[in-house]
Structure 1
Amino acid sequence: MTLVTTATFIDTKTAPVTQAIRLFRRHWVAIPLILLAFAGAWLLVYADGGTKYAHLHAIYFPILLAAFRYDEIGGFTAGLVGMILMGPLMPLDVAAGELQPTANWLFRGLYLCAIGVIIGLLNRLVLRGREERFRLANYDASTELPLAAPLRRHIREVLEAKGGSTGGHAVIHLSLTNGDNIHSSFGVDAYEMLMRSCAQRIGGSIPEGGFLARGGQSRFLCFLINTTEDAAVAVGRDLQAALRAPLDMGGLPALVDCEIGIATYPEHGADPEELLRASFAAIARAGQAPNRTVHLFDSEQDGAQRDNLRLLSELRGAIDERRLIFHAQPKFGADGSLWGAELLVRWPHPAGGFIMPGRFIPLAEQSRMIFDVTRLCFEAARDHMAQIREMTPRAGLHFSVNISGSDLSDPRFPEMLHDAFGDDPADLALLELEITETAIIEDLERLIPVLERVRETGVRIAIDDFGTGYSSLTYLKKIPADTLKIDQSFVRGVLESERDAILVRRTIQLGKDLGMDIVAEGVETQEIADWLVANGCDRLQGYFFSKPLPAPEWRELAADRVRRLTPDFTASE
Structure 2
Amino acid sequence: MTVDSSTELRPYDLPQATENASSEGATTAITAPPSMPVERADLIRAFDDGDLLLHYQPQVNVSGRWPEVIGYEALSRWPLPDGRFVPPDRFIPVAEDCGLILTLDIWVIDAVCREMARVKTDDASRSLSMAVNVSSKQFGQKHFAKSVAEILTRTGVDPSCLVLEITERAVLDEDETTFSNIHALREIGISLSLDDFGTGYSSLFHLRTLPIQEIKLDRSFVSGLPHRHRDAAILSATIDLASNLGLRVVAEGVELAQQSEWLRMNGCQTIQGFLYGRPAARSHHAITS
Distance 1:307 1:527, change over 3 A: closer
Post-superposition Cα deviations, 1:283-328, rounded to whole Å, max 9, x if no partner, equal: xxxxxxxxxxxxxxxxxxxxx9x945xx211111122222110100
Distance 1:463 1:543 in 2: 21
User: Which protein is richer in helix relative to its size?
Assistant: 1
Instruction: Name the counterpart of 2:55.
Output: 327
- Corresponding residue number in structure 2 for 1:318: 46
AA aligned to 1:498 is H
Identical amino acids, percent of aligned pairs? 33
User: For 1:456-512, what per-residue CA distance to the aligned partner results, in whole angstroms no more than 9, with x for missing partners?
Assistant: 111100000001132432121112110010001101112111100000000101111
Q: Distance in 2 between matches of 1:307 and 1:412?
A: 33
2:80 maps to 349
Report the Cα distance in structure 1 between the residues aligned to 2:49 and 2:112, rounded to whole angstroms.
18
Matches within 5 A, 1:381-530: 381-390=112-121, 392-395=122-125, 396-422=127-153, 426-530=157-261
Task: Check conservation: 1:521, 1:540, Cα contact below 8 A.
Answer: yes
SS in 2 for 1:442: coil
Aligned 8 A contact 1:440 1:447 in 2: yes
Q: What one-letter code is carried by the residue in structure 1 that aligns with 2:114?
A: D
- Cα distance in 1, alignment partners of residues 157 and 253 from structure 2: 29
| Structure 2 portions without partners, runs of 5+ | 1-33
Partners of 2:171 and 2:178 within 8 A in 1: yes
Contact 2:61 2:70 in 1 (8 A): yes
Larger Rg: 1
Q: TM-score, normalised by structure 2?
A: 0.80
CA distance in 1, matches of 2:157, 2:149: 13
Deviation at 1:412, TM superposition (A): 3.2
AA of the residue aligned to 1:553:
S
| Paired residues of 1:448 and 1:478 also in contact (CA < 8 A) | no
Taking the TM superposition and a 5 Å limit, the aligned residue runs for 1:210-359 are: 307-308=37-38, 311-334=39-62, 335=64, 336-350=67-81, 352-359=83-90
| Distance of 2:181 and 2:192 partners within structure 1 | 11
Contact 1:437-1:463 at 8 Å conserved across structures? yes
For the 8 Å contact 1:438–1:470, the answer to whether it is kept is: no
Q: State the Cα distance separating 1:437 from its structure 2 match.
A: 0.5
Closer, same or farther: CA 476–405 of 1 in aligned 2, 3 Å? same
2:114–2:155: 8 Å Cα contact kept in structure 1? no
Structure 1 stretches of at least 4 aligned residues deviating more than 2 Å after TM superposition: 349-352, 423-427, 442-446, 556-560
Name the structure, 1 or 2, with higher relative contact order (CA <8 Å, separation 6+). Answer: 2
Please tell me the root mean square deviation across aligned C-alpha atoms, in Å: 2.3
Quick one: which amino acid aligns to residue 323 of structure 1?
A: D
Change (3 A) 1:406 1:536: same
Corresponding residue number in structure 1 for 2:283: 553
Tell me which residue corresponds to 1:34: none
3-state SS of 1:494 partner = coil
Residue type at the aligned position of 1:312:
R
SS at match of 2:58: strand
One-letter code aligned to 2:45: G
448 and 468 in structure 1: CA distance in 2 versus 1, 3 angstrom threshold: same
Residue 251 of structure 1 aligns with which residue? none
Residues 509 and 423 of structure 1, relative CA distance in 2, 3 Å threshold: farther
The letter of the residue matching 1:355 is: V
Native 8 Å contact 2:222 2:251 kept in 1: yes
Shift of 1:401: 0.3
Task: Give, in whole Å, the separation in 1 of the partners of 2:116 and 2:173.
Answer: 33
Question: Cα gap change, 1:320/1:443 in structure 2, threshold over 3 Å: closer, same or farther?
Answer: farther
Cα distance, 1:413 vs. partner?
Answer: 1.3
TM-score when normalising by structure 1: 0.42
Q: Is the 1:347–1:355 contact (alpha carbons within 8 Å) kept by the matching residues of 2?
A: yes
Contact 1:524 1:542 in 2 (8 A): yes
